[in-house]
Chain A
Amino acid sequence: MRRLKISTILICFMVLLMFPPITVKAEETGYTYTYDYWGYVMESPDAYKATAFITGSSLGIGDFNKPQGLYIRDNLIYICDTGNSRIVILEKVGNEIVFVDEFNEFTGDVEITTLSEPSDIFVDENGDIYITDTKNQRVLHLNSDREFIKALTRPNDETVDAASDFLPQKIVVDFSGRSLVLVKNYNKGFLQYNSEGEFTGYIGANEVKFSVVDYIWKRISTKEQRASMEQFVPTEYNNLALDKDAFIYCTTSYFDVNELRNDQAKPIRKLNSQGDDILIKNGYYPPIGDIMWDNFAGANGPSRLIDITAMDNGSYYAIDSTRSRIFGYDPQGNLLYAFGSRGNKLGYFQNPSALDHMGNDLYVLDSQSAGLTLLELTQYGQLIHDALAEYEQGNYDESAKYWEQVLYQNGNYDLAYIGIGRSLLRQERYKEAMEYFEIKYDDENYSKAFQLYRKEWVEENLGWIILGAVALFVIPKVIGTIRKIRKIGEVDEF
């Protein structure tokens, strides 16, 4: 009877074990999320909240038509209203965004003094305006009174086909007056012009990859086959932005999908003045936007990042045209949060075309709904920003305090655990730091903490370790000797 009972209980247990644990999920709102170590989506509180949507008619200047370019300097917002061939200037005063000015022509000694489908605008600290006047095939440089200074045109260079159209798309200008222009169908990188407006070369071209397999194939194939094989197209970028130190952040959406996850495609790059990619990638995944490419309202495949903006605290934000999401990354390349979606509610985008920031606020220009969305940090987002800012300045303990508050609101926020762990590490509380790192699988930091902990442990227990080692040597010898003596005894007895 007793046996029967035990076996029944055992069977019950076996049956229970047969079923995997059931996961319970809260209803998905899915506006803001992060990815965990395994690449699973983790719901998160909203870090940014849309607070305003500004259209042309709400400003009383007629609706925008397919606006493409957005630039923000200080409190002024410059919008390239591409379809209407005009530039609109707005200003943020307090919490209001007010209309300042609009223009579509300028004065100066050139043939055409109007704009034709301008696609991007840049304003330097002197107030000089640079406009990619796409349909007129030039980049305009105007002073703050909108007087013509110079135009950047098709370079007289043998690498450029003189018959092709010169369609400048995007522009930035650094402190020295060097202009970097992104031109459609030019795939050697960005065109560089010096402050005099002379073409000086390309920057940021893809390094040519060469594999042994390719080499062998080329050796054994015929000339015709070789000609048809050369389909290697270098990267064509689709946008660029400068950060506060004049490094170039740029995005591309032309890549081999299979090369995304192993970080060969590099959809986000940070170029130094030599054109080398110096983006730091210490996150679980390289900064490629979405990790999970689930079907989303008919949109498939990886994120296609189309604009980027770098904030003063070193974090950068990129916007994706596949699912209309914004991805925020910290300076180390960790995903801070992803948010936004496709739709026509406030905070959702139909066809985002440009992204920029003013302070910590984000501005998204939507070419289809022809409006500008203002996104502001929530209290949760502010905590993350504060934590990052304190960390950048080296105040690790202050930073940990903010991270702890972040954890109250989002227990799934990996960076908070790692941030607290780092602070503990600096306070030489290695054991606790190791726990925090272990929770979020931070191998590198865990190893650092563990190494120090191990050292400490060995120093503290050196006596015992030596004793143990000696015992390990001595005890078998003693046993051996005893056995020998016994055997001798036995022999003697015999």
Chain B
Amino acid sequence: MKIASFVDNQKLKRLKESLRYSLYVVTHPLDGFWDLTHEKRGSIGAANIIIILALFTRLLSLRYTSFLFVKVIWEQVNIIEIILGFLAPIWIATLGNWGLTTLFDGKGTIKDIYMALGYTLTPYVLIQLPLILVSNGMTADEGSFLGVISSFSYIWIGILIYCAVMQIHDFTPGKTVLVIIATIIGMLLIVFVLLLLFSLISDAIAYFVSLFKEVAFRFY
């Protein structure tokens, strides 16, 4: 009993530390992402927490940002769609990047890539979450200020992703650019294959359903 709680405590402490480490990563990306995997300072748990926080930020910003800046047709909102629309790109990017970098001497494992991607979302939480609050105190004219800060967060994430790919896989800067472009193409391919698969499966199901109906009609 005592040991179990001790282990839990250790785990919790490590999670807390690795979560706090994300703040270091976003301000010192080159050094941070190197240590993230090579010095084992990051954790999947922390990455998951950051991704979930970012997802919540996204949902909250849709609902609670002042309507001056975000307008949503509520009649057409499907929350599953929004959640998957946020998470699926992360998964596909992880998969695509992993598939490519294993072929191109990348040093990172799929775990590392996922973890690093999770950490890159930190600025999204840090900036967009307070912006939701700030947006409700602003008029339309003052909104350009929000736009600048918001786009700043995206640029920051872009820089982080670049650094993450470079440091995790131990690539040169030039190779990183190529790999990122190739990853985007790879992601598109994955989406294409998935779509193809889904449409084939639904066609196959439709075939068997109609076959069953036909048979049932004949014998019933």
Give residues in A with beta carbon < 8 Å to B.
17-18, 20-21, 23, 37-38, 438, 441, 443-444, 446-448, 450-451, 454
Contacts and interface: CB of A to CB of B under 8 A. Distances in A.
17 contacts: A17-B78, A17-B80, A20-B76, A20-B77, A23-B75, A441-B67, A443-B140, A446-B67, A446-B68, A447-B68, A447-B139, A447-B140, A448-B139, A450-B139, A451-B139, A454-B137, A454-B139
Contacts of A38: 73
Sorted nearest first, the 5 A-B pairs with minimum C-beta distance are: A447-B139, A447-B140, A443-B140, A20-B78, A451-B139
Contact of B140 (A17, A18, A444, A454): A444
Nearest to A19: B78
B79 interface: yes
A451 B80 CA distance: 36
A454 B140 CA distance: 13
A450 B76 CA distance: 28
Given A441-B67, A441-B71, A447 B141 contact: yes
Interface in B72-103: 73, 75-80
B139 A438 contact: no
Contacts of B77: 20
Contacts of A448: 139
Contacts of A37: 71
Contacts of B139: 446-448, 450-451, 454
A37 B67 CA distance: 13
Contacts of A21: 75
Nearest to A17: B80
Nearest to B137: A454
Interface majority SS on A: helix, strand, loop or mixed?
Answer: helix
Given A447-B140, A447-B141, A438 B75 contact: no
Interface in B40-82: 67-68, 71, 73, 75-80
A392 to B, nearest CB: 26
A319 B73 CA distance: 31
Q: Is the interface of B mostly helix, strand, loop or mixed?
A: loop
Contact of B80 (A18, A441, A446, A454): A18
Contacts of B79: 17
Contacts of A443: 68, 140
Contacts of A446: 67-68, 139-140
Contacts of B75: 21, 23
Nearest to B77: A20
Nearest to A437: B67
B146 to A, nearest CB: 13
Contacts of A451: 139
A488 to B, nearest CB: 26
A456 B94 CA distance: 50
Contacts of A441: 67, 71
A444 B139 CA distance: 8
Nearest to B141: A447
Contact of B67 (A438, A444, A454): A438
A447 B139 CA distance: 5
Contacts of B73: 38
A37 B137 CA distance: 23
B68 to A, nearest CB: 5
A17 B78 CA distance: 8
Contacts of B137: 454
B83 to A, nearest CB: 10
Nearest to A20: B78
A450 B77 CA distance: 27
Nearest to B73: A38
A331 to B, nearest CB: 22
A444 B143 CA distance: 12
A451 B76 CA distance: 31
A38 B73 CA distance: 8
Interface in B89-143: 137, 139-141
A14 to B, nearest CB: 8
Contacts of B140: 443-444, 446-447
Contacts of B78: 17, 20
Nearest to A450: B139
A450 B78 CA distance: 30
B59 to A, nearest CB: 13
B81 to A, nearest CB: 8
Most buried by B among A18, A37, A441, A443: A443
A381 B71 CA distance: 30
Nearest to A21: B75
B139 to A, nearest CB: 4
A370 B104 CA distance: 77
A454 B137 CA distance: 8
Given A446-B68, A446-B139, 14 more contacts: A17-B78, A17-B80, A20-B76, A21-B75, A37-B71, A38-B73, A441-B67, A441-B71, A443-B68, A444-B140, A446-B140, A448-B139, A450-B139, A454-B137
Nearest to B79: A17
Nearest to A448: B139
Interface centre among B68, B80, B137 (most CB of A within 10 A): B68
Contacts of B71: 37, 441
A346 B68 CA distance: 44
Nearest to A457: B137
Nearest to B74: A21
Contacts of A20: 76-78
Nearest to A38: B73
